[in-house]
Amino acid sequence: MARTTTKAPVRKKTKHSSAAPAEKSENRRQSNAERSAYFARREAAKVLRLVLQGDARRRAVGSIKSLIYSPSVKNKKATFALVCETLKHLSVIKEVLDEAEILNSKWKKQDELVYIITYDVLFGQKTLSTGDAEKFLWKRREALVSALASILKKKKLKNVQELLALYQTPDADVLKPRYVRVNTLKLDVESAQQELEKKFSVQKDDVVPDLLILPPGTDLHNHPLVMNGSIFLQGKASSMVAAALAPKPGWEVLDACSAPGNKTVQLAALMRGKGKIIACELNKERVKRLNDTIELSGASNIKVLHGDFLSLSSEDPTYSKVRAILLDPSCSGSGTASVRLDHLLPSYATGQSSNDVDDFRLNKLAAFQRKALEHALSFPSVERIVYSTCSIHEVENEAIIKSVLSLASSFGFELEAPFPQWPRRGLPVFEGSEKLLRTDPVEDREGFFIALFVRKKGEKPQTKDEKQKEILVPNVFSKFCKFMFYSQVSRARRSVPQCGCCHHET
């Protein structure tokens, strides 16, 4: 009997069945993209809040870039784009929201998130379906678009670009090389250079040994070496500050105003992780950023001190072994305005930027800077002090140094030229100013100032009691004291008389 075989029916592929997996994949991709955008908007809103609060108070926690590229921000590229574009459109966004009158009390308390999402609604993403704030504003998209059209009509403008032009000031920034400092606590310079050369053109800097130079516009923010703390995105002028202090391995160093911490961890690298660094920072928010930076660097010899440098007693045994102090105090920031993207801040558009700082604020800053430098000079075991600012103003730079020269000399300090081969020196406003260092905002793309004080070998610093006597004696002399002093000096020049009424040696 012949065997017969029956074939199973062949199932024809339909367009529906073949498209189903692709459709699911596409939906999954869109869902992931929406979720990523949702979190990026929240991160951007947090950064924007800090930026706007700092700008309003004229005391920034950090620059736009430094806030975005802190370790706590995960999606740096998306966050950077959202913050910058929202700031660029902020005046328009505020005007549209006022015109539309759609916000209730709940959303008025979340200004920064509303600004970010409104930017996306008007100029960014096509649809927003994830998040309560997104859904609220997306449902009112027509009202927002209508308000924008109404504003253009009232101002007799053709498009949004013309409206933006009313608010914007030109970007003063210019293309500059991308500098990266190799964190030698984790990686040697040669290995870092070889890794980066796989994708980029890389050169070694001729001034700062651990600094590499990449082409302008190089985006490294998501590079593995940045993410794991092997390299830091740090400008050349900023990197020169810690290098000028040049602490030796095993030293005890005090970083007086340390956040956000790039210079602090650079000190740790220069010291090869040996010795001790006391990182002092007064601002609570900046302490958090400082700790993040230290953790990323892998430095284990840094102790963070949340407090005011001026409140530290130079006579406290805790600081008796401090041999170097880095003092980079609060300043106007006028030398790095373009680098910090200050042209995007509301204050820049209204002429209140750090480049146009008023005399009152400058004098207030200068008073603090001088007080801090005088305090740094009083630590008895200190051998080297670097004073630096990112300011172009003489009042914060040469004027501060000139005002403390006499005091510095009494403590045994003298100015020494950091990086003697560097061509740009201090303004010629006093003898010895050629030992100061400046970087130029145009030539070097950043305007920094560095002064290095070195204690002369064999010099014993005066104690505070000795200096107090030196200061007080002339002020408390009475006419009778002076009479007794000069009469006794004329009788016996060999003896040193004592004033009986004020109990001070004369």
Q: What is the pLDDT of residue 336?
A: 78
| pTM score over 0.85 | no
Residue 465 domain-assigned?
no
**Is residue 12's pLDDT more than 90?**
no
Q: Which two tokens stand for residue 234?
A: 């740090």
Using a 10 angstrom Cβ sphere, with 0-12 exposed, 13-18 middle and 19 or more buried, the burial of residue 68 is: buried
Tell me: is residue 308 an annotated ligand-binding position: yes
For range 327-349, the mean pLDDT: 72
What is the pLDDT confidence band of residue 443, given thresholds at 50, 70 and 90?
confident
Residues 214 and 315 in one domain: no
Q: How far is CA 18 from CA 22, 23, 66, 213, 400, in A?
A: 7, 9, 48, 51, 75
Residue 195 domain-assigned?
Answer: yes
Average pLDDT of the residues in 491-495: 41
Same domain, 70 and 130: yes
Residues 220 and 241 occupy one common structural domain: no
User: Are 223 and 186 part of one and the same domain?
Assistant: yes
The CATH code of the domain that includes 183 is 3.30.70.1170
Q: Residues 393, 311: one domain?
A: yes
Report helix, strand and coil shares of the chain as percent, to nearest 5.
50, 10, 40
**Does the annotation flag 328 for ligand binding?**
yes
Q: What is the mean pLDDT of residues 266-289?
A: 95
- Domain end point (choices 214, 233, 252): 233
Whether residue 81 is found in the same domain as residue 218 = no
Phi then psi for residue 169, to 5 deg, are -110, 150
Q: Known binder of ligand: residue 501? A: no
Confidence of residue 464 (pLDDT cuts 50, 70, 90): low
Same domain membership, residue 364 and residue 306:
yes
Beta strands in 448-496 (DSSP E): 449-455
Q: Is residue 159 part of a domain?
A: yes
> Does 147 lie in the same domain as 77?
yes
Least confident window among 124-128, 141-145, 177-181, 459-463: 459-463
Range of the domain at 265: 236-455
Q: 56 and 156 in one domain?
A: yes
CATH number of the domain encompassing residue 240: 3.40.50.150
Mean pLDDT of 451-468: 72
* Annotated binding residue 55: no
Is 262 known to sit in a ligand binding site? yes
Q: What is the pLDDT of residues 397-436, one digit of tens each?
A: 999 999 999 999 999 999 999 999 999 999 999 999 999 9
Query: What confidence score (pLDDT) does residue 56 get?
Result: 73
65 within domain boundaries = yes
Would you name the residues annotated as active-site residues?
A: 390
Q: Are 33 and 130 in contact (CB under 8 A)?
A: no
In a domain, 223, yes or no: yes
Domain boundary among 138, 166, 194: 166
Q: 140-163 burial by CB neighbour count: b if 16+ within 10 A, else e?
A: beeebeebbeebbeeeeeeeeeeb
What average pLDDT score do residues 325-329 get?
Answer: 97
Residue 478 is assigned to a structural domain of this protein: no
- The secondary structure of residue 325, as a DSSP letter, is E
Other CB atoms within a 10 A radius of the CB of residue 469 amount to 14
Reply yes or no on whether the pLDDT at 306 is more than 60.
yes
pLDDT for the residue numbered 301: 98
- Asked if 58 and 40 sit in the same domain, the reply is yes
Q: What would the pLDDT profile of 355-397 be if each residue is shown by its tens digit?
A: 445 788 899 999 999 999 999 999 999 999 999 999 999 999 9
Is residue 13 predicted with pLDDT exceeding 70? no
Domain match, 319 and 438 both = yes
- Residue 34: pLDDT band (50, 70, 90) is confident
257 carries a ligand binding annotation = yes
Q: Which of 336, 362, 331 is nearest to 172 (CA)?
A: 336
Could you tell me if 212 and 64 lie in one domain?
Answer: no
Q: Is residue 321 part of a domain?
A: yes
Q: How many Cβ atoms are within 10 Å of 246's Cβ, its own excluded?
A: 15
| 3-class DSSP state of 189 | helix
Kindly state the DSSP code that residue 330 receives in the 8-state scheme: -
Least confident residue range of 51-60, 214-223, 261-270: 51-60
Residue 118 clears pLDDT 70, i.e. is over it: yes
Final residue of a domain: which of 233, 248, 277?
A: 233
pLDDT tens-digit series, residues 78-91: 888 888 888 888 88
Tally of domains within the chain: 3
